[in-house]
Amino acid sequence: MSKAGAKPWVDGLLIGEVLRQTAERNADRDALVFTSLDYRRTWREFYDEVELAARGLWSLGFRHGDHLALWATNVPQWVVLQFATARIGVVLVTINPAYRAFELEYVLRQSDARGLCLVDRFKTSDYFAMLAQACPELVESEPGLLQSPEYPELQWVISLRGETPPGAISWDDLLERGRGQVVDWPSVEASLHFDQPINIQYTSGTTGFPKAATLSHRNLLMNAFYIGASQRMSADDRICIPVPFYHCFGCVLGTLCSAVYGAAMIIPADSFHPGATLTAIEREQATALYGVPTMFIAQLQDPTLAERKITSLRTGIMAQPLPD
């Protein structure tokens, strides 16, 4: 790790290179834990899963500069895809899980997405139904052969959870394709540059449709590095991340910061729940907690707070000042 005032060790590297080096240094330490699921990966296991997903995307024809949209809550596949796309230079387009069909239409069209990964549903939102409304051609298409006049670039739809809709492939299908795919990784890395775009994030759109912000490997890694430095992060830390991945709070200050420092990512649930968050902190001995004021207030008001053992916490991020 860089000493104070020294050049950050991530400067000039690709996200995939950072992940590989972190996995080598911290192979048997926890990397990603979903406390509400039977999902726990060490850095070595997480790196292998990322490589497999990246080979799966490669088998579908995704290459450097292609755009892949991701419309999902906080699920394990989200984090895997974040690093898998970066590994092969594919630009990840992060979509707010709260978007409705008309907003999905706008993002798919505006981002020139070649693929869309999505979960089946969240609360009352049926993602597959909204996708069918936005892209009625999908149901009559063979996987990978989608032809839509509204989205001329869109070819692949990947279901991350639930039944796979017609015209799509499942997450398991993607990984299975990856097992038979050979990739010349040194050549892939040599074709990429740290200043190239790797992520498109959309603003809130309070004055109209959301605006796309394009970010590079360096943008993201330097942000993650300095956020971690301000919290004195190390591989001994365990960051509880109840904030959504689609926003930079979750996927830069959270997951990428963890990758830069080798800290464990502790994910309480697919969306915020105060009890689940307190359980994750307690069970996994989290040392850092992220959130916005309403999240912290909900945890402070949780009836089980007094009996929780959460003294492992030492730092974290509150997105705004907590109101009086």
Q: What is the pLDDT of residues 267-313, one digit of tens each?
A: 999 999 999 999 999 999 999 999 999 999 999 999 999 999 999 99
User: What mean pLDDT, rounded, does the chain reach?
Assistant: 95
Place 214 in a pLDDT band, splitting at 50, 70 and 90: very high
Return d(Cα 84, Cα 56) in angstroms, integer: 9
Encode pLDDT of 54-99 as tens digits: 999 999 999 999 999 999 999 999 999 999 999 999 999 999 999 9
**Ordered structural domains, the chain, with CATH:** 43-217 (3.40.50.12780)
| Section 118-124 average pLDDT | 94
pLDDT of residue 210: 81
Structure tokens at 111: 């981002």
Which residues does residue 34 pair with via DSSP β-bridges, in sequence order?
39, 267
Ordered DSSP codes for 191-245: T--TTSEEEEEE---TTSSPPEEEEEHHHHHHHHHHHHHHTT--TT-EEE--S-T
Task: Using pLDDT thresholds of 50, 70 and 90, give the confidence band for residue 6.
Answer: confident
Residue 4 pLDDT more than 60?
no
* Three-state SS at 71: strand
- Give tens-digit pLDDT for 163-202: 999 999 999 999 999 999 999 999 999 999 999 999 999 9
pLDDT of residue 207: 65
Sheet holding 264-267, edge to edge: 39-42, 30-34, 264-267, 238-240, 288-291, 315-318
Measured between alpha carbons, how far is 167 from 267 in angstroms, rounded to an integer? 31
- Beta-carbon neighbour count of residue 320 at 10 Å? 8
Mean pLDDT within 96-119: 96
pLDDT of residue 12: 97
pLDDT tens, residue by residue, 10-60: 999 999 999 999 999 999 999 999 999 999 999 999 999 999 999 999 999
Task: Work out the pLDDT band at 322, boundaries 50, 70, 90.
Answer: low
